Amino acid sequence: VFNALTDALVIRQSNEERARTTMRPTEDIQAYELYLKGRELLGGQRTEATLQNALKLFDQAIKRDPQFALAFAGSADASLLLWDRTKDGAWTQRALGAAQQAKRLNDALPEVHLSLGSIYTASGHTSEAIAELTRALELAHNSDDALHRLGLAYLKANRSAEAIDAYKRATQ
């Protein structure tokens, strides 16, 4: 349906874009459902219990499909949010490990680079954060989330002009 729509609208995709739109994140529907439920929890009220529940859902998705990069990225995001709540360094280590595994599994997903970039920003590795978030933006050109996170990384790197530019682009 997507391909027919892009053809009808005369939208020209690069080979890389076409490959990404036909790629399935997992063949296991239950793993994907668990992933979506975890993402839904991350989008709501972020209590420690809710974050723990989201993490359990991502872990269950990974157990069902150990090659499911998005589930690892979700686990990384939930772990980073748990670190933000608790300041327990074990969460940053878990987040970094999950994000790196997601990148090994599928380097072509913007979500993977968003997760890794956020972890690097939070841990003070701003040059790595900027590189990862720039890659996420290359994969998802109009992502306001990537631009917002890039703005934050630029701020932490004391690059105010670039941060303002990223935030302006995000609001556009």
Tens digit of each residue's pLDDT, the chain (172 residues)? 766 766 677 655 555 555 455 467 899 999 999 999 999 999 988 999 999 999 999 999 999 999 999 999 999 999 999 999 999 999 999 999 999 999 999 999 999 999 999 999 999 999 999 999 999 999 999 899 999 999 999 999 999 999 999 999 999 9
d(CA 53, CA 61): 13
Instruction: Supply the pTM of this predicted model.
Output: 0.85
Q: 101, 85, 99, 92: which is closest to 50 by C-alpha?
A: 85
What integer pLDDT is reported at residue 45 of this predicted model?
87
What integer pLDDT is reported at residue 22 of this predicted model?
47
Query: 98 is written with which tokens?
Result: 């999950």
What integer pLDDT is reported at residue 14 of this predicted model?
59
How far does CA 127 lie from the centroid of its chain? 18
Query: 156 is written with which tokens?
Result: 């932490």
Enumerate the H helices of 2-143 as residue ranges: 2-8, 15-22, 29-43, 48-64, 69-86, 89-105, 110-122, 126-139
What integer pLDDT is reported at residue 152 of this predicted model?
97
Amino acid identity, position 153: A
